Structure formats: C-alpha cells, structure tokens
Amino acid sequence: MRSKSLTRNTSETQITLSLDLDKAERGTVATGSGFLDHMLDLFQVHGGFRLDVACQGDAHVDMHHSSEDIAIVLGQALLDCLGDKKGIERYGFYYVPMDEALARVVVDFSGRIGFVWNVKLQNERIGNMETELFRHFFKSIAENARMNLHVELLYGEDHHHSLEAVFKAFARAVSMAISPSRRIAGIPSSKGTL
C-alpha cells in the first residue's frame, strides 16, 4: 500500500494529512484558504490520488505558515509512500491547458533536490493567498519529497487559470512518475538506489 498519514504540530500550525497514491477517491481538504483547497482538490482528482488535509493555522496573519507546512507534510508523504521507488517510472511530465493558460511540469523522483519555478503571475493575491506563496509551496514539496521539480507557466493571463494549469500539470506529472514502469522491474537507476 502506497499510503501515509502524517501530522505536523508547531506553534503556528496543526496539520493532519493522509495521502493514498493508489486510491482514486476524493478526500477532504480544509487548509484555511478556499483557493488552496481548490488547488489541492485538483491535485488529488487529476492525479488519481486520495488526499485528506486538515490545517489549523494562523491564517489571521496570512497563509505563509499554513501553506508552507502543508507542502512540507505533502512532500514527506510522497517520499514515504514511494519507499525505495522500486518498479516506478521515476520521471513524469505533462502539459496542461486551462483556457488561455498553458503550464508544463516535469518531475524526477531521483532522491536529489532540484527546483525551477518559471511562473510569472500578475495578481498579488487570490482570495487569502498571496500568489508569491505558490513558489515556496512547490519548493517545499520538492525539498521534502527529495525530487527534481520544474514548473513553467508558458503563458496565461488569468491568474486563477494559470495556477489551475500548474496544479493539474503537477498532478499528472506525479501520476506518470509513480506509475508502474513499463520496462524496469527494479529500482530505476543505474546506481541501484535512489
């Protein structure tokens, strides 16, 4: 079973998160931000995962601590779910259009951290989320999942559409990377370990 339940409790946030990579069943997401809830719901639906998140955070200050800590726990859950990564594709990539926006995300569950964010958003805020927080959100996932993650918004005018394309492309790229390998039965690395 590729599933994991984790908690993270700090003076700023209390988070419980469960991730099941093999159960395409919609979980419950409650982050303190309606927009982040929507984006994480897209992640689970388009990835074919079950994600349950409950966060009690200091949203009265802003969403920085909550979004960062959710990303940390989500990255840790991905890492734990994949174990030694035996039998997975390892690499995943996807382009997703959302009306006028087009995003490309490429991932490698290599055990090494690499992060590229080529996303320019014009609006400063969506709901109670500052758009600058999304760069840090994805970077925190990459660091804690020990993965290479390259995120690009090739173009887009509407900030909601742009981030929706990014989250859907991320979900599909992760889904591709964690799928059973078509040709490699063992660990997908010439080193024999990831």
Would the pLDDT of 68 be above 90? yes
- Helix then strand then coil, in percent of the chain rounded to 5, is 35, 30, 35
Domain ranges of the chain: 3-178
pLDDT band at residue 161 using 50, 70 and 90 as cut-offs: very high
- Verdict on whether the full-model pTM lies above 0.85: yes
Does position 135 have pLDDT exceeding 90, yes or no?
A: yes
Region 149-164: mean pLDDT is 97
Q: Token pair of 146, please?
A: 């020990």
Phi, psi of 172 (to 5 degrees): -70, -40
**So what's the pLDDT on residue 183?**
82
Mean pLDDT of the residues in the chain: 95
Task: Please give the CATH topology (third level) of the domain spanning 3-178.
Answer: Ribosomal Protein S5; domain 2 (3.30.230)
Please write the tens of the pLDDT for every residue from 28-66.
999 999 999 999 999 999 999 999 999 999 988 889 999
Q: What is the pLDDT of residue 1?
A: 84
CA distance 85 to 104: 24
Mean pLDDT of 105-123: 95
